[in-house]
Structure 1
Amino acid sequence: MRLCVCLVLLSFILCASADSAISRAGRFVKDAAGGAWDMFRAYQDMREANYKNADKYFHARGNYDAAQRGPGGAWAAKVISNAREKWQSDVSGRGAEDTRADQEANQWGRNGGNPNRYRPEGLPTNY
Structure 2
Amino acid sequence: MRGPALFCLLLLVAPLLTHALVMRLLFPNLTAVNDCATRKGVFNTVAGNCAAGKLGEAYWKMYWANCKNCDKYFHCTGNYNAVHQCTNSAQASRAAEAISDCREEVDNGGEDSALDQQANRAGRRGENCSALYLEAVKCFYHPKNGTCIRPTP
- The TM-score normalised by the length of structure 1 is 0.68
| Count of aligned residue pairs for this structure pair | 95
Give 5+ residue unaligned stretches, structure 2: 1-43, 147-153
Partner residue in 1 for 2:103: 84
Task: Name the SS of the counterpart of 2:141 in structure 1.
Answer: coil
Aligned-residue RMSD, C-alpha: 1.6
Taking the aligned partners of 2:139 and 2:60, their CA distance within structure 1 comes to 20
What are the equivalent positions in structure 2 for 1:1-127 lying under 5 Å apart? 29-68=45-84, 69=86, 70-89=89-108, 94-95=110-111, 98-116=112-130, 117-119=132-134, 120-125=138-143, 126-127=145-146
| Relative contact order, higher structure (CA 8 A, sep 6+) | 1
Tell me if the contact between 1:61 and 1:109 (Cα under 8 Å) persists in the aligned partners. yes
Taking the aligned partners of 2:59 and 2:81, their CA distance within structure 1 comes to 12
Give 5+ residue unaligned stretches, structure 1: 1-27
Identity of aligned residues (%): 36
Deviations for 1:72-103, whole angstroms, at most 9, x for unmatched residues? 2211110110011111125xxx32xx000000
- Give how far 1:56 is off: 0.2
- Give how far 1:36 is off: 0.7
- The TM-score normalised by the length of structure 2 is 0.57
Tell me if the contact between 1:35 and 1:72 (Cα under 8 Å) persists in the aligned partners. no
Give the number of the structure whose residues are more often helix, by fraction.
1
